[in-house]
Structure 1
Amino acid sequence: MSDWADLTTGKRIKHLRGSDLTQQGLAEASGLSLALVQKAEQNRGELSVGSLLRLAHALNTDVSVILGQQAPRRGMNRDVRAALRQLSDAVHESALGEWEGIDDPSTVEELSEVRDLAWAAYWASDTASVSGYAAKVLLEGQVRYTAATGAERTRLGSILASTYRVAASCSTGFGHRDLALSALTSAKHLAKDVDDPVMTALLESTLSWIYLRGAKLPRAMAVAERAALAIEPSFSSGSRPQLLAYGRLMISAAVAASRREDESAADDYISQAHAAAARLGREEKLYGTSFGPTAAKTEAVGIHVALKSYGRALDLAAQPDMRKLPQSMSKVARNRYKLDVALAQCAVGLHDQAGETLVEVALDAPEWVKHQALPGVIGKRLAKVSTARVRTISELIGMPLIA
């Protein structure tokens, strides 16, 4: 629909629901009350991020479609669609062994380097590069892996598992849940085969995120907590990889708890994440995953925002070490954090600051921001103060924020 962005959120929900699904049916499928669904379609009141996630899952769409940032089935540009097709082919063909190899194969070190490039591209929101790099590693690496033995096989297994994981993460970000689960299934088999418990833990963190995106909040929290218990380190003698994986899993559990509005559980998980980060003492990166004191704090800001503890979020963001984020922090992590800060600023009446933060994010990561829920939420709240200001921001960043 060419005028999709011009519809109200309520009309978009009604259109996506169609005539085959009643409001009661949507309420049951989403786990929301009938009254809330009715209010949503009538544009009465604001929907929380949790409610938007549940509606998107029940309607088999993405939050950005409900908010009008993307039209149904036409939200991705041609390059992103092509990249995801290439990624899908690589995930499935490598798992099936449908590749004959090449005359001049890469070394294990070269495959490891390309895997790292795929993760760097992911954190830079460069989907085309993720796809290209990951496809090379998966197709060639899988052939090498089947013939390898000993230490080489173990290393190749970890490289492949990590590459399947970046494919799963990229797919999840664009709402391709089935592709993400296929990639994750292959990764888990490899991690088990080469007996890599840290990789296994990080794969569970990705699975928790997939469940979170699908609004399966209890499962998201349970998966992360179970995996954390399996790898829980001794804080006096635990290895750095264990501490990283444990801290990241505690963050995953805290995020899921915050979406369930379980503040007590979220605080407990955050506390454990901070403890692991303090033990690390600095930011660490392993298998494409970063964690440390700064990561724990930026994630905690988002968790406090989800719990509507906006004062706590802004107090944490105002700490001296948070005013200038490290250069090593990825573009995606940095901008996700800034969106959380913008929402908190908006909630406490700092509307000009919220608008400036939103523009900063959109100009830094224009393609990534289109697939996020928070810009639309922030835009609707800012519109209550100044519709003209929001329309100016929309023109500046090249995406609709309000109908």
Structure 2
Amino acid sequence: MSNWADLTTGKRIKALRGSDLTQHELAEAAGVSYALVQKAEQDRGELSVGSLLKLAAALGTDVAVILGQQAPRRGMSRNTRIAVRRLSDAVHDSALGGWEGVEEPSTLSELSAAHDRLGAAYWQGSFEAFSELVAKVLLEGRARYLHVTGYERERLGSILATTYQFASSAALLLGQRDLALSALTSARHLAEESGDEALTALLGSTLSWIYLRSARVPRAVAVAEQAALRVEPSFSRASRPQLLAYGRLMISAAVAASRRSDSVSADDYLSQAHAAAARLGDDVSLYGTHFGPTFANTEAVGIAVALGNHGKALQLAARTELPRSMPKLARNRYKLDVALAQVSAGLHDKAGDTLVEVGLDAPEWVKLQALPGVIGKRIARVSTARVRAISEVIGVPLVA
């Protein structure tokens, strides 16, 4: 929101409250009077520092956002803002020793089960549940990690490292780059201590994504390529973790190369990924990461789109079948690539239908994506009425 700083404090509070809360509900959540919320939104009187802190906490934001010093992330609901705050607290408190107040941490078995649930919540785009589980695993897991040895320490280190990696990916998806880097730093320390080379290398895929989202494309390619070299397998005797890590890193390198229009390198990296996927034989999930023939095929579509080969992208999509087990976020990210290929090829109606599918399947996640706006603007060149109808269905403003 470019004019966020020009709004009054009252209008900012009202905008942050949105349709998620009534004034009464905000007052109750913040522990202040209804009259205070009314006066605040009407800009009557000055808010004390204490009231600002309470309102910011209830709205899942920072005081700086209420005062107009920072703008809120576009499309982020109150629940998602709260999830971001919880995620940030968990990452930083666990790394800085905030877990010392945990008196009776869960057992390794319980933490392992919570780790599996948080992975499922991430891939479903359920960030509120995800952040709660991340907080549990990081705070209780770090408290337990301090006092265990042997197999339990090794296993717990892996659980903590992949949880930090999940937190890093979620933070980046939610627009929190610095938090993503902080979480990934903790993940790397734990992975290196565990001695798991495949897990350590795989963290390079997340780091490559961070660099890519930061427009540091050459660095994104280099990071993925260097990490892949550390686990480059001999395909005749490679372990499944090696194949997964190597294939996933080759995909990261291919995606980054395609963003700088380097089709030769992108094709070379992609062929290596396909080879690793073929060696695996089927789609697998390790360390909370999915890879296999389906993943390589769907990423090939996105790479073709990035290189401007929209016809090739649609041909690849026509030959790609999505298994029922494919995670929601991966499925819908792929469909956005397909929609972009469709609209670029002049198939505006099909692109609109695909966009509606995504919006209905992942309504909160789609609000955090930039591609729907790009696709919507291209459809609007043909029919603004169609775009407005899509916007109404999926709840995302696609045109002004």
TM-score by length of 2: 0.81
Distance 1:399 1:194 in 2: 43
Q: Which residue of 2 aligns with 1:94?
A: 94
Alignment pair present for 1:351 and 2:341 = no
Measured at CA, do residues 97 and 103 of structure 1 come closer, stay the same or move farther in structure 2, by a change above 3 Å? closer
What CA deviation, in whole Å up to 9, does each residue of 1:174-223 have, x standing for no partner? 11011111111011000111111111111111000111111110111100
Aligned to 2:315: 315
Please state how far the C-alpha of 1:112 moved relative to its aligned partner.
1.1
Partners of 2:335 and 2:95 in 1: CA distance = 38
- CA distance, structure 2, for counterparts of residue 295 and residue 160 of structure 1: 25
Instruction: Give 1:400 deviation, angstroms.
Output: 1.0
Deviation at 1:110, TM superposition (A): 1.3
Distance 1:102 1:308 in 2: 52
Deviation at 1:2, TM superposition (A): 9.8
One-letter amino acid of the structure 2 residue matched with residue 368 of structure 1: W
Q: Partner of 1:337 in structure 2? A: 334
| From 375, 381, 389, the counterpart of 1:392 | 389
| Residue pairs, 1:153-168, within 5 angstroms | 153-168=153-168
Tell me, what secondary structure is at the counterpart of 1:147? coil
Distance in 1, matches of 2:248 and 2:317, equals 19
Residue 125 and residue 234 in structure 1: after superposition, are their counterparts in 2 closer, same or farther (change >3 A)? same
Shift of 1:99: 2.2
1:231-260, Cα deviation, whole Å (9 max, x unpaired): 101111100110001000000001100111
Partner AA of 1:203 in structure 2: L
The answer on 1:197 being equivalent to 2:197 is yes
Partner of 1:252: 252
Aligned to 2:72: 73
1:348-370 deviation digits (Å, cap 9, x = unpaired): 11111111000000110011111
Superposition pairs for residues 50-69 of structure 1, below 5 Å?
none
Which amino acid in 1 is paired with 2:192?
K
Q: TM-score, normalised by structure 1?
A: 0.81
Q: How many residue pairs were aligned?
A: 334
- Whole-angstrom CA distance in 2 between matches of 1:204 and 1:105: 30
Q: 1:154 offset after TM fit, Å?
A: 0.7
Structure 1 equivalent of residue 185 of structure 2: 185
- CA RMSD in angstroms, aligned pairs only: 1.5
Is the 1:101–1:140 contact (alpha carbons within 8 Å) kept by the matching residues of 2?
Answer: no
Cα displacement string for residues 69-111 of structure 1 (whole angstroms, at most 9, x for unaligned residues):
xx94252211111111111111111111122354543211211
For the Cα contact (< 8 Å) 2:73–2:175, is it kept in 1? no
Structure 1 segment 2-41 matched on structure 2, within 5 A: none
| Structure 2 CA distance for aligned equivalents of residues 119 and 133 of structure 1 | 9
Find out whether 1:286 has 2:283 as its counterpart. no
Match for residue 382 of structure 1?
A: 379
1:10: which partner in 2?
A: none
Deviations 1:264-313 (A, max 9, x none): 10000110000000000100100110000000000110010010111111
Structure 2 counterpart of 1:241, which letter?
A: P
Matched residue, 1:135: 135
Local SS of the residue matching 1:285: strand
Which structure's CA Rg is the greater one? 2
Separation in 1 of the partners of 2:379 and 2:73? 27
Q: Which runs of 5+ in 2 are unaligned?
A: 5-69
1:302 aligns with 2:302: yes
Is the Cα–Cα contact under 8 Å of residues 251 and 270 in structure 2 kept in the other structure?
Answer: yes
Instruction: Provide the rounded CA distance (Å) in 2 between the counterparts of 1:171 and 1:105.
Output: 25
For the residues of structure 2 that align with 1:74 and 1:203, how far apart are their CA atoms? Answer: 26
CA distance in 2, matches of 1:270, 1:72: 38
On the 8 A contact 1:124/1:332 being kept in 2, the answer is yes
Aligned partners of 1:88 and 1:179 also within 8 Å = yes
Letter in 1 for 2:374: V
Write the deviation string for residues 143-187 of structure 1: whole angstroms up to 9, x where unpaired.
111111111111111010000011101100011011111111011
In 1, the alpha carbon distance for the partners of 2:369 and 2:71 equals 15
SS at 1:329 equivalent: coil
Which amino acid letter does the alignment assign opposite residue 106 of structure 1? Answer: S
Structure 1 residue identity aligned to 2:108: V
Task: Give the AA of the match of 1:113.
Answer: A
Distance 1:3 1:176, change over 3 A: closer
Q: What is the correspondence of 1:196-215 to structure 2 with a 5 Å cutoff? A: 196-215=196-215
| Distance in 2 separating the partners of 1:96 and 1:123 | 28
Deviation track 1:291-339 (CA, whole Å, cap 9, x = no partner) reads 00000000110010010111111111111xx24x111110000000001
SS in 1 for 2:141: helix
Q: Which residue of 2 aligns with 1:150?
A: 150
Unaligned runs of 5+ in 1: 5-70
Aligned to 2:107: 107
Q: Distance in 2 between matches of 1:332 and 1:258?
A: 21
Equivalent position amino acid for 1:371 in 2:
L
Q: Is the 8 A contact 2:208 2:224 kept in 1?
A: yes
